[in-house]
């Protein structure tokens, strides 16, 4: 624990820019997009003042931002960037290449809806679309978590057992632009925590020139490389836990794969990720006072998805309601729902599981909506129905 | 400026065992560029013939570090490498001075990668971008690009009853690159190895971005004999289809003035992709090409006298 | 050979270098392209002035040069395009049709 706590009232974007200043990466290629922009504005101030030694590349698109990030990382640099929504979509092609080349790039993605219609407000469709891109995904509820996850992301990505890129996610505007209480670590603590970056291979190794990103022909090895990515993603889970424990020692704040609240004896469990967890927690407190046995499971790590741990945590619940802040047209429910279903099914768990889509394009979610969810669950419970359904919260229908 | 004897004593940058077609102009161009380039060196390559033929895992023909990421972003990728070099050098983690070259075909440069190229030139990274212009998407099977000359047959500008090959003139990419002030820009080709290697040396000694457009004939796509690759490149210069020039500090300079400009027919007739132009009804297309080349040449003469 | 890939077909998925990185520069020399050839360049030493045009115009780096002099061809890699013979100012390179085993 640090002797004296440094506390600031700042937004998540400012907190993340501060984390980046403390990390002092070698290269940051970035392109502005709402609501990510203020991270880069703030970081640009550090560069302009000489507070960091980073080469800040103000590139001409997000595609080039990720391309330059890959080039710099393959050259042995510690690299960070940040984006949102359409920017992430434009990076798509390069996201897969960053992870396949096993480059430990760290990027904040400030969650925002995908066009059309163009909408700058929060939902998770941008990063959910990238869930198969081979990046580790850490979701954050508030500015404190966004700051803490950014610092931990560097250590997770660069762990020799992992060497994968990490996306730090938090809700656009709701978290990115809201002023919050954030405990900041000392620069030295951050520096010691992340340590020095040592590349496995480097384009700038004079004695060992390498070819990065080769062509794989038919009858080649593509399948083996993909299998290996899956393997390291699995390994990443224990590294994420270990880094969380180490972070606890320097910060006093605890991080695991997910966070549970009042689930030990819960009949009903809400599962969600991101800023809505705050409202959900208040809803749980309210309902508990009314004698309803309800709990909350807030996911932090969406990739790798903690199947076994989630199944264990939800096993004794009667009904599980998964709330998704993105939509997957043509599928059975949102992406979080699908993963939780898969976890419960794989480990032969019994709860009934239902899905709510909420908050698309920044649509509000309030206490009343959680109460509506719980009254649905009570109905279901009375009817002893095993019916699974997908419903919409706060939709004009 | 290195002589052939000196060049022959240098380490090959692109070694044998690559799988480019027999007689490929790109192979010649890249060898010449890399023989002229000082070391240590990091290259980037866009997706295309060069990439798929020289980096078939687990074999590479590159004798220096190389990175390939995607099609449209060789300039962005190498700019990241260069930024990493500058950052690590500033932190004293690297001692040697590296040079940086990105290679892309005309599809990767004139078309899909133009934005990334423009961005990297504008940001003034210290690197050389080499466009290997063979006038079509050859790796995917000879489709029309922004570099395909008017009248040329490609698989997406086939010769039909209504259309005699490509209907539009190619874009002047070298001039577009020259519009990025403070960039060393040159156009050259493989037949003029001395011109080519001198330009590479100049580009890599330049403290800023540079761009060289190299005409690299493609026997497969141009429907030419494998043995004629260099001859066809030379004729492109002698007919003024592909003038050799450079732009340095805003000053345009022609590096080769043919004593007598050969008619474009001499160049066209060697290539199967222009075969249909020699039918009576398409004669006006040849005239049109000749007129265009004459106008462009006059423009270049005027620019170089400024 | 700095990086031995002779048994690569047998490697398990976890035995490859991270990210499919190729660890030995210029190792395509171990891959032969000489079998692509239908015509073979034959060097006629007495006509050669060692101008080195064949060296600089070869797409395959298959012209051997030793101490500024032409020293023949690398037939393991030469694809037989014939550019060297076309560009030779002294006709010191002749293209000769390859004999297939079945023709002998």
Q: How does pLDDT run across A324-367, given as a tens digit for each residue?
A: 999 999 999 999 999 999 999 988 878 999 999 999 999 999 99
| Predicted ipTM of the assembly | 0.98
Residues, chain A, total?
Answer: 397
Q: How does pLDDT run across A373-394, given as a tens digit for each residue?
A: 999 999 999 998 888 899 999 9
A209 to chain C: nearest residue by CA?
C25
CB atoms within 10 A of CB A253: 14
C13 to chain A: nearest residue by CA?
A224
Which of 3.90.1170.50, 2.40.50.220, 3.40.50.1000, 3.30.70.20 is the CATH number of C32-99? 3.30.70.20
Instruction: Pick the last residue of a domain from A232, A251, A270.
Output: A251
**Is residue A64 in some structural domain?**
yes
**Cβ pair A63:B73 closer than 8 A:** yes
Distance from CA of C103 to the nearest CA of B (A): 23
**Is residue A158 in some structural domain?**
yes
For residues A231 and A90, membership in a common domain is answered with yes
| C residues 43-102 closer than 8 Å to A (CB) | none
Residues of B in contact with A211 (CB under 8 A): 55, 60, 62, 65-68
Q: What is the pLDDT of residue A2?
A: 47
The reply to whether C94 touches chain B by the CB within 8 Å rule is no
Q: How does pLDDT run across A183-202, given as a tens digit for each residue?
A: 999 999 999 999 999 999 99
Cα atoms in the 13 Å half-sphere on the side-chain side of B56: 17
The reply to whether C25 touches chain B by the CB within 8 Å rule is yes
Percent of chain A with pLDDT over 90: 95
B&C contacts, CB < 8 Å: 130
**Is residue A155 in some structural domain?**
yes
Instruction: Pick the last residue of a domain from A201, A220, A251.
Output: A251
Q: What is the pLDDT along chain B (306 residues), one digit of tens a residue?
A: 899 999 999 999 999 999 999 999 999 999 999 999 999 999 999 999 999 999 999 999 999 999 999 999 999 999 999 999 999 999 999 999 999 999 999 999 999 999 999 999 999 999 999 999 999 999 999 999 999 999 999 999 999 999 999 999 999 999 999 999 999 999 999 999 999 999 999 999 999 999 999 999 999 999 999 999 999 999 999 999 999 999 999 999 999 999 999 999 999 999 999 999 999 999 999 999 999 999 999 999 999 999
Average pLDDT over every residue of A126-154: 98
Distance from CA of A231 to the nearest CA of C (A): 9
For residues A247 and A265, membership in a common domain is answered with no
A187: domain CATH number? 3.40.50.970
For residues A182 and A200, membership in a common domain is answered with yes
**Is residue A364 in some structural domain?**
yes
Q: Which spans in C1-104 are helix H?
A: 53-56, 83-87
Domain count for chain A, please give it. 2
| Three-state secondary structure call for residue A171 | strand
Nearest to C28 among B21, B61, B219 (CB): B61
Average pLDDT over every residue of A149-160: 98
**Cβ pair C16:A211 closer than 8 A:** no
**Cβ pair C17:A201 closer than 8 A:** yes
Distance CA A7, CA A20 (A): 17
Rounded to the nearest integer, the mean pLDDT of chain C is 95
For residues A134 and A206, membership in a common domain is answered with yes
User: Above 50 in pLDDT, residue A318?
Assistant: yes
**Cβ pair B68:A94 closer than 8 A:** no
**Angle in degrees, CA A81, A82, A88, rounded to 5:** 115
Q: Among B70, B93, B67, which Cα is nearest to B78's?
A: B67
> Chains near B, with 3+ CB pairs < 8 A?
A, C
| Cα-based distances in Å from A373 to A113, A259, A261, C38 | 23, 20, 17, 76
The reply to whether C57 touches chain B by the CB within 8 Å rule is yes
Q: How does pLDDT run across A238-280, given as a tens digit for each residue?
A: 999 999 999 999 999 999 999 999 999 999 999 999 999 999 9
Place of tokens 């060049």: B7
Q: What is the DSSP secondary-structure string of A40-101?
A: HHHHHHHHHTTS---EEEE-SSHHHHHHHHHHHHHTT--BEEEE-HHHHHHHHHHHHHHHHT
* Mutation target among A105, A161, A201 for the C interface, most CBs of C within 10 A: A201
Residues of A in contact with C11 (CB under 8 A): 221, 224
For residues A246 and A287, membership in a common domain is answered with no
C-alpha dihedral (B86, B90, B92, B98), degrees to nearest 10: 20
**Is residue A145 in some structural domain?**
yes
A346: domain CATH number? 3.40.50.920
**Is residue A397 in some structural domain?**
no
Burial of B179 (0-12, 13-18, 19+ CB in 10 A): exposed
**Which residues does A289 contact at the CB level (< 8 Å), separation at least 6?**
none
**Is residue A228 in some structural domain?**
yes
Distance from CA of A28 to the nearest CA of C (A): 22
Distance from CA of C104 to the nearest CA of B (A): 25
Q: What is the pLDDT of residue A347?
A: 85
Q: Among B150, B128, B274, which Cα is nearest to B208's?
A: B128
User: Above 80 in pLDDT, residue C103?
Assistant: no
B53 to chain C: nearest residue by CA?
C28
**Is residue A1 in some structural domain?**
no
Q: State which residues form the domain around A368.
A: 258-392
Domains of chain B, each with CATH number or no CATH: 9-304 (3.40.50.970)
Residues of C in contact with B8 (CB under 8 A): 52, 55-56, 65, 68
Q: Among A374, A370, A174, which Cα is nearest to A275's?
A: A174
DSSP C22: B
| A residues 218-257 closer than 8 Å to B (CB) | 220-221
Confidence at C102, pLDDT banded by 50, 70, 90: low
Average pLDDT over every residue of C41-48: 97
Residues of A in contact with B56 (CB under 8 A): 214-217
Residues of B in contact with C93 (CB under 8 A): none
| Three-state secondary structure call for residue A244 | helix
For residues A126 and A165, membership in a common domain is answered with yes
For residues A281 and A219, membership in a common domain is answered with no
The reply to whether C7 touches chain A by the CB within 8 Å rule is no
B210-215 vs B184-189, strand pairing mode: parallel
Q: What is the pLDDT of residue A387?
A: 82
Q: Does residue A60 contact residue A87 with C-beta atoms inside 8 Å?
A: no
Q: Among A322, A310, A299, which Cα is nearest to A376's?
A: A322
For residues A89 and A56, membership in a common domain is answered with yes
Instruction: Pick the last residue of a domain from A229, A251, A273.
Output: A251
């Amino acid at each position: 624990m640090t002797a004296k706590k440094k506390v600031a009232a700042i937004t998540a974007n400012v907190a993340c820019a501060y984390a980046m200043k403390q990390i002092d990466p070698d290269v940051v290629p970035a392109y502005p997009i709402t609501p990510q922009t203020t991270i880069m504005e703030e970081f640009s101030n550090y560069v302009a003042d000489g507070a960091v030694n980073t080469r800040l590349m103000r590139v001409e698109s997000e595609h080039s931002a990720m391309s330059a990030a890959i080039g710099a990382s393959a050259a042995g640099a510690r690299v960070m960037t940040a984006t949102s929504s359409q920017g992430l979509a434009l990076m798509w092609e390069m996201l897969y290449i960053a992870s396949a080349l096993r480059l430990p790039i760290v990027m904040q993605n400030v969650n925002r809806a995908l066009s059309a219609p163009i909408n700058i407000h929060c939902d998770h469709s941008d990063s959910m679309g990238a869930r198969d891109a081979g990046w580790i995904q850490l979701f954050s509820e508030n500015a404190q978590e966004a700051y803490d996850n950014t610092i931990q992301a560097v250590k997770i990505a660069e762990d020799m057992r992992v060497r994968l890129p990490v996306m730090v996610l938090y809700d656009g505007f709701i978290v990115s632009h809201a002023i919050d209480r954030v405990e900041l670590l000392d620069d030295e603590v951050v520096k010691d925590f992340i340590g020095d970056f040592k590349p496995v291979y480097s384009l700038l190794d004079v004695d060992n020139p390498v070819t990065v990103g080769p062509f794989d022909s038919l009858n080649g090895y593509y399948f083996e490389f993909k299998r290996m990515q899956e393997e390291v993603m699995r390994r990443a889970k224990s590294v994420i836990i270990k880094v969380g424990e180490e972070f606890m020692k320097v910060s006093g704040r605890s991080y695991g794969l997910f966070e549970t609240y009042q689930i030990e004896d819960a009949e009903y469990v809400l599962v969600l990720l991101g800023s809505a967890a705050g409202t959900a927690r208040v809803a749980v407190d309210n309902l508990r006072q009314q004698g309803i046995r309800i709990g909350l499971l807030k996911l932090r790590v969406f990739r790798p998805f903690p199947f076994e741990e989630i199944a264990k945590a939800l096993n004794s619940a009667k009904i599980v309601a998964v709330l998704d802040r993105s939509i997957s047209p043509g599928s059975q429910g949102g992406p979080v729902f699908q993963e939780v279903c898969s976890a419960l099914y794989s480990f032969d768990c019994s709860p009934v599981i239902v899905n709510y889509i909420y908050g698309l394009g920044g649509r509000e979610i309030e206490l009343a909506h959680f109460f509506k969810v719980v009254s649905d669950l009570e109905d279901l419970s009375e009817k002893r129905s095993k019916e699974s359904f997908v419903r919409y919260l706060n939709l004009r229908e | 400026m290195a002589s052939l004897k000196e060049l022959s004593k240098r380490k090959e940058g692109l070694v044998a065992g690559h799988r480019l077609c027999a007689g490929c102009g790109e192979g010649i161009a890249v060898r010449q560029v890399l023989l002229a380039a000082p070391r240590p060196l990091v290259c980037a390559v866009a997706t295309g013939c060069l990439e798929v033929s020289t980096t078939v895992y687990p074999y590479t023909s590159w004798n220096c570090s190389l990175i390939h990421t995607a099609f449209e972003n060789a300039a962005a990728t190498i700019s990241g490498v260069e930024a990493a070099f500058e950052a690590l050098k500033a932190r004293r983690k690297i001692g040697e001075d590296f040079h940086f070259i990105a290679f892309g075909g005309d599809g990767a440069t004139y078309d899909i990668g133009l934005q990334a190229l423009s961005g990297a030139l504008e940001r003034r990274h210290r690197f050389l971008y080499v466009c290997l212009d063979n006038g079509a998407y050859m790796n995917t099977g000879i489709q029309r690009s922004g570099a395909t000359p008017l009248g040329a047959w490609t698989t997406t500008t086939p010769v039909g009853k209504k259309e005699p090959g490509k209907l539009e003139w190619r874009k002047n990419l070298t001039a577009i690159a020259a519009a990025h002030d403070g960039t060393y820009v040159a156009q050259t080709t493989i037949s003029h190895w001395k011109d080519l290697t001198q330009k590479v040396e100049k580009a890599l000694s330049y403290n800023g971005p540079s761009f060289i457009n190299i005409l690299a004939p493609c026997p497969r796509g141009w429907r030419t004999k494998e043995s004629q690759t260099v001859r066809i490149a030379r004729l492109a210069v002698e007919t003024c289809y592909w003038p050799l020039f450079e732009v340095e500090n805003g000053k345009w300079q022609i590096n080769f003035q043919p004593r007598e400009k050969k008619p474009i027919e001499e160049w066209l007739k060697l290539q199967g992709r222009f075969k249909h132009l020699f039918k009576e009804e398409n004669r006006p297309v040849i005239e049109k090409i000749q007129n265009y080349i004459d106008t462009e040449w006059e423009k270049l003469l005027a620019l170089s006298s400024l | 050979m700095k990086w031995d890939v002779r048994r690569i077909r047998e490697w398990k998925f976890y035995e490859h270098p991270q990210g499919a990185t190729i660890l030995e520069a210029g190792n395509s020399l171990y891959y032969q392209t000489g079998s692509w050839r239908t015509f073979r360049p034959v060097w006629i030493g007495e006509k050669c002035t060692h101008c080195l045009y064949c060296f600089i115009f070869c797409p395959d780096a298959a012209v051997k040069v030793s101490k500024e002099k032409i020293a023949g061809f690398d037939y393991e890699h030469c694809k037989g395009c014939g550019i060297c013979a076309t560009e030779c100012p002294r006709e010191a390179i002749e293209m000769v049709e390859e004999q297939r085993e079945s023709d002998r």
